[in-house]
């Protein structure tokens, strides 16, 4: 067949890649075969530009039960015979095209990844990025995404327990919608995606197959928006009520012992699910597409193989167990169709009735080309790293007015207007929900709990991807630590622009290098993840935005903390930070919310001391374990003054302290120096905290005491608690009102 450039563009293959396919097959592929190659060799499925870099991440520890990339999600031993399965994935491009369904099906897809490991989904988290809410289109995207997330998660009965939302012009036409799901399974009952023995039967269960989502992986998620023309048909449509019963049916089917393997039909649909499953086992398959229930008339074999219709799973079942599994799905009134079998030879034979529509070697299908490019730091980035305090005038509104302005910034203001739309108590495991540094969920039947957090900062990575990558890992671990949890594993979603541009590849490589170094220092492996590239709208790429999801373990759920001050008369201290705490440093303002909100700048070069970070977190966890701390809150966006104000607002109690501030009070109060935690404790525990800090060589400073109805940092700042509460609590709603 004659393949036009238009055809190759539709499936995001280059002419060189097409020639490579012809060489491997020693013939030209037909339409269905080319579509299968396009899907599996897409950036979204094949990780062509990122896989050579992902091996830099440490991925093993005594707790890790899985290998990254070999299963649908990462699995970690948390003790008492339980494993936690978790992963984060992107649905950026679909959400930009159709925000409600794009976000909803992002939730549905990540839930099925967890289900494919045999785990019951127990928690959702999300990390979202939008352009400024002053733009009506951004408000439309925001409302659609939040609506889709809440609709799907609430309907399937999985609590949404934590997340983050950021706003910046770089995301105006390319929002980021990263969804994370966490599941729980007995570690001896985990499922695999590997298809097992020849003769095993392929059962397709769940929804009928339609045309929604065709070219979602190859066309929408693997190229920039300016290259796409008509994108709406590539967005899937979700049915959370079907997903709910699908979860129960699959878990019951697994309990029969007849299911050899389980796969989600997500990106690239049946092509990806079936081919990757047999490839993991070193096998092949025969499939008959005429057995697939089709939602629409006139669907071709091409449509069926590439459809990304939602709420579908592929079960690989032993021949003797097919009837038992069918009975389970009949009980739940979920469609179950036998569509093929596993074969010894690693060949994929795809039939549509009597017609053979594809005959391809499995190994070639899953062996996408890999590109190791040469990244180049852009001159613009080097220029942005230059920042001198002498060039920044102090804000005319003074410390108090500046604090109110920062608390009102949508990036810092309370997100309660969002998370109150989510059910975060369903399943009755949630001990600490949205609003604290990390969510905490009890593990019923044990004394332990898990902590969950998700975080990232694109501005830091825009300025210095290596240090920004380190900070992303450090901050999510710090958030877990503030709950009393020991960080044990991470997942990540790497959101970047077009990697074929040298400056973007530079960002990708050095973010990964920075993240990997922080993981090694903090001794926390990366067990799963996702890469989302080509996040570019016309004329603008997003900031490089690595989003990190973290899992921590608390051995005794009664020994946990939250970020709010819990009462009056508590001493407030600061763990960590530079030894010269009140010395203004330009690096502390680099990439800060203060610099952008007050001065309209994204500039400077952030820094972090990973050795200090590790000691600060150890100190915090030890103090919590000993029962010394009443609260702990990560000092991050907005700096020290914002962190203190948040503790007051959330606890409904004032604060009074005195700081000998230099003339550059802005850098001290609103700088975002890393490795700092605001803590509160009873006065008689201070001496013990000092002993622990001295033993670990961690700076410890007394800041003040809780109480009253004002927020005071003498001599420069004194505001009624009601004023800071109003600025922080209601500003996001005001921004959404336009």
Sheet of 347-352, strands arranged across: 259-264, 312-317, 201-206, 336-343, 284-288, 347-352, 355-361
Q: Residue 159 and residue 153: Cα distance in Å, rounded?
A: 7
User: Active-site residue 44, yes or no?
Assistant: yes
Q: Residue 73 and residue 266: Cα distance in Å, rounded?
A: 13
Are the C-beta atoms of residues 563 and 439 closer than 8 Å to each other?
Answer: no
Q: Residue 308 and residue 199: Cα distance in Å, rounded?
A: 26
Structure tokens at 48: 């062509």
Q: Residue 208 and residue 239: Cα distance in Å, rounded?
A: 11
DSSP for 557-579?
TTS---SS--SSS-EEEEEES-S
Between helix 398-407 and helix 639-651 the angle, nearest 10°, is: 70
Q: Which residue has the tokens 């300025």?
A: 463
Q: Give the residues across from 85 on adjacent strands.
A: 75, 183
Collapse the DSSP code of 327 into the 3-class scheme (helix H, G, I; strand E, B; otherwise coil) and give the result.
helix
Structure tokens at 682: 């009873």
Among 49, 91, 215, 424, the active-site one is 91
Terminal CA-CA length for the chain:
54
Collapse the DSSP code of 504 into the 3-class scheme (helix H, G, I; strand E, B; otherwise coil) and give the result.
helix
Among 44, 49, 93, 424, the active-site one is 44
For residue 287, CA distances in Å to 40, 313, 324, 338, 642 come to 17, 15, 21, 9, 59
**Residues contacting 695, CB < 8 A, separation 6+:** none
Structure tokens at 121: 């989904």
Q: Residue 153 and residue 104: Cα distance in Å, rounded?
A: 8
Cβ-count burial 106-140 (b if 16+ within 10 Å, e if not)? bbbbbbbbbbbbbbebbbbbbbbbbbebebeebbe
Strand bridging mode 430-432 / 717-720: unpaired
Q: Residue 694 and residue 688: Cα distance in Å, rounded?
A: 10
User: Active-site residue 49, yes or no?
Assistant: no
Collapse the DSSP code of 414 into the 3-class scheme (helix H, G, I; strand E, B; otherwise coil) and give the result.
coil
Q: Give the residues across from 121 on adjacent strands.
A: 183
Q: Residue 651 and residue 567: Cα distance in Å, rounded?
A: 7
Structure tokens at 377: 């730091």
Are the C-beta atoms of residues 554 and 685 closer than 8 Å to each other?
Answer: no
Return the active site residues: 44, 91
């Amino acid at each position: 067949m004659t393949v036009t450039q238009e055809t190759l563009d539709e499936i995001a293959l280059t002419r060189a890649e097409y020639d490579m396919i012809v060489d491997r097959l020693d013939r030209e592929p037909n339409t269905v075969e080319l579509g299968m190659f396009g899907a599996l060799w897409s950036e979204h499925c094949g990780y062509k530009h990122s896989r050579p870099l992902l091996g830099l991440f440490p991925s093993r520890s005594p707790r890790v039960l899985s290998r990254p990339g070999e299963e649908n999600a990462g699995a970690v031993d948390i003790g008492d015979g339980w494993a936690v399965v978790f992963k984060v994935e992107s649905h950026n491009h679909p959400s930009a095209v159709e925000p409600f369904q794009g976000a909803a099906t992002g939730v549905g897809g990540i839930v099925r990844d967890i289900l494919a490991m045999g785990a019951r989904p127990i928690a959702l988290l999300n990390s979202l990025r939008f352009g400024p809410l002053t733009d009506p289109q951004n408000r439309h995207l925001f409302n659609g995404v939040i609506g889709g997330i809440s609709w799907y998660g609430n309907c399937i009965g999985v609590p949404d327990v934590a997340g983050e939302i950021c706003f910046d012009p770089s995301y105006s036409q390319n929002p980021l919608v990263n969804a994370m799901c966490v599941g729980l399974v007995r570690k001896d009952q985990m499922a695999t995606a590997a298809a097992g023995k020849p003769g095993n039967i392929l059962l397709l269960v769940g929804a009928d197959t339609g045309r929604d989502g065709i070219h979602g992986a190859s066309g929408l998620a693997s190229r920039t928006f300016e290259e796409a023309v008509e994108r709406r048909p590539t967005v899937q449509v979700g049915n959370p009520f079907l997903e709910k019963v699908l979860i129960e049916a699959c878990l019951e089917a697994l309990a029969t012992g007849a299911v050899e393997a389980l796969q989600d039909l997500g990106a690239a649909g049946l092509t990806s699910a079936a081919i990757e499953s047999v490839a993991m086992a070193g096998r092949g398959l025969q499939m008959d597409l005429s057995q697939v229930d089709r939602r629409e008339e006139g669907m071709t074999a091409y449509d069926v193989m590439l459809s990304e219709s939602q709420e579908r799973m592929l079960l690989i079942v032993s021949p003797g167990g097919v009837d038992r599994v069918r009975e389970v799905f009949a009980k739940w009134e979920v469609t179950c169709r036998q569509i093929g079998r596993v074969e010894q030879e690693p060949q994929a034979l795809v039939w549509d009735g009597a017609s053979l529509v594809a005959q391809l070697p499995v190994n070639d299908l899953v062996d996408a080309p890999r590109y190791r490019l040469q990244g180049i730091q852009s001159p613009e980035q080097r220029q942005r790293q230059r920042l001198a305090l002498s060039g920044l005038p102090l804000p005319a509104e003074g410390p108090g007015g500046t604090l109110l302005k920062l608390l009102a910034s949508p990036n810092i203001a309370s997100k309660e207007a969002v998370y109150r739309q989510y059910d975060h108590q369903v399943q009755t495991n949630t001990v600490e929900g949205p609003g604290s540094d990390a969510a905490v969920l009890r593990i019923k039947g044990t004394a332990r709990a898990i902590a969950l957090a998700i975080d990232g900062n694109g501005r830091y990575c825009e300025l210095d991807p290596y240090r920004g990558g380190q900070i992303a890992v450090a901050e999510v671990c710090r958030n877990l630590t503030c709950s009393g949890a020991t960080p044990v594993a991470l997942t990540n979603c790497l959101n970047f622009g077009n990697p074929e541009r040298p400056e973007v590849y530079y960002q990708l490589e050095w973010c990964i290098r920075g993240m990997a170094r922080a993981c090694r220092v903090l001794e926390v492996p990366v067990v799963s993840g996702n890469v989302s590239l080509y996040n570019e709208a016309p004329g603008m790429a997003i900031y490089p935005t690595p989003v990190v999801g973290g899992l921590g373990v608390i051995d005794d759920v009664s020994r946990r903390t939250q970020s709010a001050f819990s009462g009056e008369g508590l001493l407030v201290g600061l763990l960590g930070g530079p030894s010269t705490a009140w010395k203004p440093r330009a690096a502390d303002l680099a990439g800060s919310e203060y610099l952008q909100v007050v001065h309209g700048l994204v500039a400077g070069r952030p820094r972090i001391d990973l050795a200090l970070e590790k000691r600060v977190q150890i100190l915090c966890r030890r103090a919590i374990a000993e029962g010394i701390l009443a609260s702990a809150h990560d000092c991050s966006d907005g700096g020290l003054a914002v962190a203190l104000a948040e503790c007051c607002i959330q606890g409904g109690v004032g604060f009074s302290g005195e700081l000998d501030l230099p003339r550059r009070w802005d850098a001290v109060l609103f700088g975002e120096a890393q490795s700092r935690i605001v803590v509160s404790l009873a006065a008689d525990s201070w001496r013990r905290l000092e002993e622990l800090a001295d033993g670990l060589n961690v700076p410890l400073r007394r800041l003040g005491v809780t109480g009253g109805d004002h927020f005071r940092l003498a001599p420069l700042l004194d505001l009624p608690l009601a004023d800071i509460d109003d600025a922080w609590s209601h500003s996001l709603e005001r921004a959404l009102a336009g």
